[in-house]
Structure 1
């Protein structure tokens, strides 16, 4: 599959002399769910800022559909209409007093007519579960609601690529589930979703492709279904093996579950275990 976005030996040195990316090479296929895994300081946020042109490489090159990124103002505006970024901290992104004004900012900058902007704003707020919140003051919202407004503002641009920096950070469990369902709906529409996380269990459960980062480089990329073979890369990225993989492997070793099947969450492993017949007298699982 031809990559939608490529990084080729990208370096980034900040003004203070610190290094964000060190020869980072990465390919992102279209229409896939990409999880960027790594510890704090691995370069995940810096990479996302390069993907939509907010940062420019000190060396190396980024390519969109095989063509080198163009950093002229008009070309960057076109890129950002296709590649939308949601920051980890919503207060960095919210700029308007009212919810509907903030969500409308991007579509208005695309030069769309008022009727189209209103339609996009309404659809985007509905998509994030904030229909009817349009006239709410932004500063009255909770942290999770602010994050959803930021996502709505990006969705209103109808991007081809949705970038999210640590999207689950600061959200309680129900809101995390809602956000995961929202990301799944976007992926089902063909949107390429790229997110950073240090939660290996979520990355394994949700992602199609997992990219492991350490010290400003992508040290390994793998389909999520093949993550079990990447123990060394996971360790180098400061990650453990996902609980679902570890639990399934232990149960298979004991003959309680079949090896070779793919169970991507602890809930799925438990469901498979409960489905096994139990011996009436000994209480032992039969295999």
Structure 2
């Protein structure tokens, strides 16, 4: 299958001459959950801005459905209606006084009729769990609620791809769990999701594919279940082994769990351990 989005040897230099991307080649499959993993400054945000065409490559090219990006005015409008970006800081994205106005802004600019715009805005707010917030002033919302309004504004455009820059940043644990549940629902609906993170445990738990970055380089891409075999790339991206992988490896070495594919979270590892028969010579394992 043709990848949904491809980068071919993409380089980007900022106005001051500093490199943002250095020869990045990357393929993003349709309908999958992609995590861009790397330390701060690795180039994750710069790459997302290229995917949405807010930045253009200095060298190299991007393809959408197999065709080169069209940077004309009409081409950009078409692309950005299909590839939506949610910034890390929601205050960079919210532009209207009321929630429903902000969510409706994108569809209105597509030239849709008022009834369609209202329906799209209502459906998008419902999707992010803010159905009763349409008439709320944006400045009265919490940080997490603002993030969800930004996601709703992108969803109202009915995109094929949702890009999120560090979506968990600034959220407490319950809000992170809510957002992860939302992302799972969107992925189940067929939305291709690409997000940046430096949280290797979240990336390992959530993503179908992990793309590792360091110093503007796209250093490795791997299906998540094969991450254990790419520890050198993980280290180059400034990341440790996910805790679930490390715990499973240690338990397998001790004969307490079978070797092979590791569960994707610590909780899942513990569940697998509890399901193992107790060896009477080892004594009971209490967790």
Q: 1:223 aligned to 2:191?
A: no
Deviations 1:97-145 (A, max 9, x none): 0000000000101111111111111111111111110111101111101
* In 2: Cα distance, 1:280 partner to 1:254 partner: 15
Look up the match of 2:251. Answer: 251
Structure 2 counterparts to residues 90-239 of structure 1, below 5 A? 90-239=90-239
Q: Is this contact kept in 1: 2:225–2:261, CA < 8 A?
A: no
Look up the match of 1:15. Answer: 15
1:278 Cα deviation after fit: 3.0
Look up the match of 1:283. Answer: 283
* Aligned CA distance change for structure 1 residues 6 and 281 (closer, same or farther; 3 Å): closer
Look up the match of 1:89. Answer: 89
1:261 Cα deviation after fit: 3.3
1:59 Cα deviation after fit: 0.9
1:262 Cα deviation after fit: 3.1
1:55 Cα deviation after fit: 0.5
1:181 Cα deviation after fit: 1.0
Structure 2 counterparts to residues 254-265 of structure 1, below 5 A? 254-265=254-265
1:265 Cα deviation after fit: 0.1
* In 2: Cα distance, 1:279 partner to 1:38 partner: 41
Relative to structure 2, which stretch is displaced further, 160-169 or 182-191?
A: 182-191
Deviations 1:165-206 (A, max 9, x none): 000001111111111111111111111100000000000110
* In 1: Cα distance, 2:282 partner to 2:250 partner: 21
Deviations 1:19-52 (A, max 9, x none): 1001111111111100000000000000000001
SS at match of 1:159: coil
* In 1: Cα distance, 2:200 partner to 2:127 partner: 26
* In 1: Cα distance, 2:55 partner to 2:20 partner: 11
* In 2: Cα distance, 1:223 partner to 1:280 partner: 38
Q: Is this contact kept in 1: 2:98–2:137, CA < 8 A?
A: yes
Q: Mark the runs of 5 or more structure 1 residues left unpaired by the alignment.
A: none
Look up the match of 2:45. Answer: 45
1:252 Cα deviation after fit: 0.4
1:277 Cα deviation after fit: 2.7
Structure 2 length-normalised TM: 0.97
1:16 Cα deviation after fit: 1.7
Q: Mark the runs of 5 or more structure 2 residues left unpaired by the alignment.
A: none
* In 2: Cα distance, 1:282 partner to 1:48 partner: 51
Structure 2 counterparts to residues 23-38 of structure 1, below 5 A? 23-38=23-38
